Amino acid sequence: MIGNVQPAASHFVDGRPLEDAGGTEMPVHFPGTGAVIATVREATGAVIEAALAAAERAQPAWAALKPVERGRILLRAAAIIRDRAEALARLETLDTGKPLSETRVADWPSGADALEYFGGIAATIGGETIPLGEDWAYTLRVPLGVTVGIGAWNYPSQVACWKAAPALACGNAMVFKPSELTPLGALQLAAILTEAGLPPGVFNVVQGRGGVGERLVTDPRVAKVSLTGSVPTGRRVYAAAAEGIRHVTMELGGKSPLLVFEDADLDAAVGAAMLGNFYSAGQVCSNGTRVFVQRRVREAFLERLAARTSAIRIGDPLDEATQMGPLVSPAQRDKVLGYVAKGQEEGARIVGALPEVPESGWFVPPVIFAGVTDGMTVAREEIFGPVMCVLDFDTEAEAVARANGTDYGLSAGVFTRDLARAHRVARAIRAGTLWINTYNLTPVEVPFGGSRLSGVGRENGRAAIEHWTEVRSVYVGMGGVDAPF
Ligand code: NDP
């Protein structure tokens, strides 16, 4: 039973739902069956204008509130999210196709963590004093103003919270555009924030495809753009933001390495490789999709991996027992199946029998490729589906060099019992996050983001504050002015 998930209106602007019948219809599908579960409309120029104008009007008063009061509203919103956890998890499952077993623990709960964390530290955001002899200076951390958030479809509600929570804690207003494929969660966030006491206009949601995002990014009122998306979109959005010298945070894609040394706890490494390739049906930016396994343990690794993978329960995302659901769209399924065919063509070998998947919905079975070499397409390009590439290596130096043989730099993992090696590898791999003997944990306390093509800026942790504020320096002259003329 899906029930009625049609939102009150397509957009949320100036503290209330807003519809404009002139916008093109965008059907929302449940990826588990392909059924249409709701329809929203793309934002028209009038809706975009209303959202930006509301944000511009609301921001100064919001910034002037005591930070502890801003924080209290975010904390209240987090409490509402926790109270409605089950309904929100269900909605996220319907919007994304990810199984309830994931959306109950990962998506909104992580969003609530962000609201609690940034709500909690709002009142601690301050500057420094700088002694200059008689004179002195101090710095203020001031909000940027009107900001834009643009989200991907894999963690739509988490992404909306990860952007809104620090932005609002710092005194900014935001216009958020979710992915056209997953428009429902952000509307809930806007309604919940309003219920928690957020003044109208501080957080607005407008729906639409890339074109709507483009209009937001290039509007002269916008001071900052935070995008979660692919590298090609990142390039376009970064360039558009540059025209107005806007601040940016770019959370983009990856092709992250996971190094398994022969002294590793092999069962833990197999679990991490599965988690880092098959969770959310592989639609996770930080996935460790290039699994480098030291040659001596390769066969044992593959054997355990194949056995555990064949036992994954794939099926209806609304069934509590399901561990893996479909991909978000038919286009994404076809893209991933194209990579599976390409991998075979280029000589990679599929390990084990592919598990059965339901016929309705946009499912792809988990695929383990062995015998992968660095030059193969599947080892170079981000697939964003449940496709794991296993590569062999002999020495640490070789593994590190090959792990770094990519233009991406989002994350990486290392499994070893050798403490010194773990930290050596952590320092040598060029990535924003490195996990030692675990994988894909992204608690809100820890900065997250990419290097090189994987992005600029950081979300989460205190580091995020630097990306939602700017420093204003105030010089205080205590004596006369010593002018040379
Ligand atoms: P896309 O890059 O296709 O889209 C991201 C968002 O940008 C969507 O809302 C999209 O709208 C919008 N958009 C597209 N073109 C423009 C434009 N010219 N101007 C402004 N906005 C635009 O990414 P996906 O949604 O396909 O998400 C998957 C990608 O996201 C993967 O590469 C993944 O690695 C990355 N990702 C990165 C994360 C990180 O934190 N580093 C986390 C999660 C995902 P629409 O789609 O509606 O057209």
The predicted-structure confidence for 344-380, as pLDDT tens digits, reads as follows 999 999 999 898 999 999 999 999 999 999 999 999 9
pLDDT in tens, 163-191: 999 999 999 999 999 999 999 999 999 99
Q: Dihedral sign for Cα 270, 273, 276, 279, please.
A: negative
pLDDT in tens, 212-250: 999 999 999 999 999 999 999 999 999 999 999 999 999
Region 456-469 average pLDDT: 98
Pull the structure tokens for residue 2. Answer: 């899906």
Nearest protein CA to atom 34 of ligand 1, as residue: 253
pLDDT in tens, 129-140: 999 999 999 999
Pull the structure tokens for residue 218. Answer: 């290039």
Is there an atom of ligand 1 within 6 Å of 229 CB? yes
Three-state DSSP class for residue 317: coil
pLDDT band at 3; cut points 50, 70, 90:
confident
Region 62-84 average pLDDT: 98
Is there an atom of ligand 1 within 6 Å of 457 CB? no
CA 285 to centroid of ligand 1, rounded, Å? 11
pLDDT of residue 64: 98
Burial tier of 342 (Cβ tally within 10 Å: 0-12, 13-18, 19+): middle
Pull the structure tokens for residue 370. Answer: 């062995």
Region 10-37 average pLDDT: 97
Distance CA 144, CA 205 (A): 19
CA 8 to centroid of ligand 1, rounded, Å? 25
Q: Which atom of ligand 1 is nearest to the CA of 233?
A: 2
DSSP states of 274-294 as a string? HHHHHGGGG--TT---EEEEE
CA 126 to centroid of ligand 1, rounded, Å? 33
Q: Which atom of ligand 1 is nearest to the CA of 450?
A: 41
Region 423-431 average pLDDT: 98
pLDDT of residue 134: 95
Catalytic residues: 163, 251, 285, 459
Nearest protein CA to atom 21 of ligand 1, as residue: 213
pLDDT band at 4; cut points 50, 70, 90:
confident
pLDDT of residue 353: 87
Q: Identify each DSSP E strand in 354-445 by its residue range.
A: 367-370, 387-393, 411-415, 433-436
Percentage of the chain surpassing pLDDT 70?
100
Q: Which residues contact residue 65 at a Cβ distance below 8 angstroms, ignoring those fewer than 6 apart?
A: 171
CA 301 to centroid of ligand 1, rounded, Å? 34
Whether the pLDDT of residue 104 is over 90: the answer is yes
Instruction: Please choose from 228, 444, 467 the residue to mutate so as to test ligand 1's pocket, defined by most ligand atoms within 8 A of CB.
Output: 228
pLDDT of residue 216: 98
CA 229 to centroid of ligand 1, rounded, Å? 3
Percentage of the chain surpassing pLDDT 90?
97
Whether the pLDDT of residue 482 is over 80: the answer is yes
CA 382 to chain centre: 15
CA 128 to centroid of ligand 1, rounded, Å? 37
Instruction: Please choose from 233, 243, 387, 411 the residue to mutate so as to test ligand 1's pocket, defined by most ligand atoms within 8 A of CB.
Output: 233
Whether the pLDDT of residue 1 is over 90: the answer is no
Instruction: Please choose from 230, 255, 289, 458 the residue to mutate so as to test ligand 1's pocket, defined by most ligand atoms within 8 A of CB.
Output: 230
Pull the structure tokens for residue 406. Answer: 């990519």
Compute the chain's Rg from CA coordinates.
Answer: 24
Q: Which among 351, 388, 423 has a CA at the least distance from the CA of 256?
A: 388
Whether the pLDDT of residue 465 is over 90: the answer is yes
DSSP states of 4-58 as a string? ----SSSEEETTEEE--TTSPEEEEE-TTT--EEEEEEPPPHHHHHHHHHHHHHH
Q: Which atom of ligand 1 is nearest to the CA of 254?
A: 34
Distance CA 202, CA 76 (A): 16
Is there an atom of ligand 1 within 6 Å of 226 CB? no
**Do 283 and 154 contact (CB within 8 A), yes or no?**
yes
